[in-house]
Amino acid sequence: MNKDFDDDLWDLKADAIKVLKRNALLHKDRNINHGFNYKSLKFANLKQYTLWNSCLNIISNSLLNPKRAREEFIYLLKNQQVNGFIRFYYYQHNEQSDIEKNSSNYSLTHPPLVATALRSIYDATSKTDFIKSYAKYVNKYFDHLYESRISEDNNFLLLDIKHPLENPITNSFNHKQNFKKGKIRQNLKNSESKKYLNGTLSLEGKIDKTNPNKVRDLFFNCIYIQGCYDLAYLCDQIGDNEQSTKFHQRARKMERFLIKNCWNRDDNLYYGLDDAGKIINDIKTSCSLIPIILDNIPNSHIHCLIDNYILNEQEFYTEYPIPILSQNVSIKNDNKKLKNSKELIRLDLNWLIIRGLQKHGFYNVAMELSQKTIDIVRKFGFWEYYHTHEGIGIGMSEYTPSTIIVDIEDKIFGSDLDFIFNQEWNRIKKLPDF
């Protein structure tokens, strides 16, 4: 439903706090005694909660309610296994859950945004006590992923994913062809999917450990690399020089590999890799823009991403924020999932792209996209998705992960605008055709 706000009176942060609080109260009303996390899906009677959504909530709350952010981070780590692994779902019906009972159900994770979430807690307070207590657990998780998901028998320096569900943005269609003979069968029966998500079905029988097929998902690896940079920074703040050096070197090494091997010169865009190291460019999604968050992406690549895609009406530029799929993607009539996805916008994707634009000094593009993203929430509220051409909310309403846009408002519109415009002018003057 369209929200008739007076622009001068609307307070984004106040609205985000209300959404987060209402979802927290929903927990209390259902007598779920598990700690301090929010239920992201207000109207869905689900027992599980996702790692990705929890991290987004932590980042939002770092600005809105730092105490709550710390509490949710602690609860998230209760899902961590002895080897450091953090599963992509964790259960709300009891704190013990099924984690210690049947570890074979817990083989999948999400892009490891947890390091960025921890940094957001530090950035909000500049206090090191919390970081000293909990950075070691995130370090262990990142080490486990690096040790278990990079093949030692080849020179691939990117992590593989075990299932499309490990990319929460495009799990319904991304890399589908590459997983037909992969480690885990993608198309479980509906009854099996429900049992798996509720923790009562093991995937052990559906995993072929000898199958060499692996997908190096671009989105997953970009989040991991940025997380390594964040961990290096945090370890430096607490005086752990050894860990700081390790994560910085790892990030730089993986970043160089990704920039060299995932950039497709045919269309000047990034993609993931298959098990043979070949680029997977079957579907053009906005995940191909996500390398813009990396520290050392070449300036020429950034210009290509912006000019050819972000500001191109035939690709990702619309009246509203950047959609999941390029508008230039041709879709068969019988592919309903892909057709529906072409009409969807996710705010977390736009948040990442805006952070990348700001990081590399493209403030004018970042501000335009930020304004579009904030305006869509101003008009329609916090939704799981938004329609690409109409802007209306789709999916679940009062969706707490979409409160991540408070970080956009803080980083962009909370900045010194005179400084931003001066930096942008200095960048323009350096262009070759100026």
- For range 173-200, the mean pLDDT: 43
The boundaries of the domain holding residue 20 are 12-429
Residue 58 lies in a domain: yes
Q: Judge whether 113 and 52 are in contact, CB under 8 Å.
A: yes
User: Between these two residues, 319 and 192, which has the higher pLDDT value?
Assistant: 319
| Opening angle at CA 412, ends 20 and 299, nearest 5 | 125
Q: Inform me whether the pLDDT recorded for 165 exceeds 90.
A: no
Instruction: Say which residue, 95 or 163, is predicted with more confidence.
Output: 163
pLDDT at position 258 is 97
Cβ-contact 198, 89 below 8 angstroms: no
**Residue 372 domain-assigned?**
yes
400 or 198, higher pLDDT: 400
- Calculate mean pLDDT across residues 422-429: 51
Q: What is the pLDDT of residue 355?
A: 96
Q: Is residue 166 part of a domain?
A: yes
pLDDT tens-digit readout, 347-368: 999 999 999 999 999 999 999 9
pLDDT of 395 > 50? The answer is yes
Query: Could you write out the DSSP letters of every residue in 245-307?
Result: HHHHHHHHHHHHHHHHHSEETTTTEE-EE-TTS-EE-SS-BGGGGGGGGSTT--HHHHHHHII
- What's the confidence (pLDDT) of residue 41? 46
Q: What is the pLDDT of residue 410?
A: 83
Q: pLDDT grade, residue 151 (50/70/90)?
A: confident
In a domain, 3, yes or no: no
Strand partners, 263: 270
C-alpha dist (Å) from residue 360 to 294, 302, 415: 9, 8, 15
pLDDT at site 414: 66
Q: pLDDT digits over 222-277, tens only? A: 999 999 999 999 999 999 999 999 999 999 999 999 999 999 999 999 999 988 88
Q: Are 305 and 299 in contact (CB under 8 A)?
A: no
CA distance 228 to 252: 9
What does the alpha-carbon distance between residue 275 and residue 392 come to, in Å, rounded to a whole number? 39
Which residue bears the tokens 């700001």?
358
Residue 265 lies in a domain: yes
The pLDDT of residue 229:
98
Q: State the chain's mean pLDDT as an integer.
A: 79
Of the ranges 40-54, 364-378, 416-430, which one carries the lowest mean pLDDT score? 416-430
Q: Does a structural domain hold residue 228?
A: yes
Q: Are 73 and 137 in contact (CB under 8 A)?
A: no
- Using one digit for the tens of pLDDT, what is the confidence trace for 13-26? 999 999 888 877 65
**How many structural domains compose the chain?**
1
Instruction: Give domain status of residue 99, yes or no.
Output: yes
Gap between the Cα atoms of 184 and 162, Å rounded:
7
For residue 409, what pLDDT is reported? 83
User: What average pLDDT score do residues 198-215 get?
Assistant: 44
Is residue 166 exposed (0-12), middle (13-18) or buried (19+ Cβ within 10 Å)?
buried
Tens-digit pLDDT profile for residues 82-115: 999 998 876 554 444 443 334 444 578 999 999 9
CATH number of the domain that 374 lies in? 1.50.10.10
Helices 363-380, 12-29: inter-axial angle, 10-degree rounding: 50
Q: Give the residue-averaged pLDDT of 370-381.
A: 94
pLDDT of residue 329: 79
* Chain CA centroid to CA 238, Å: 26
Give the pLDDT of residue 30: 47
In a domain, 376, yes or no: yes
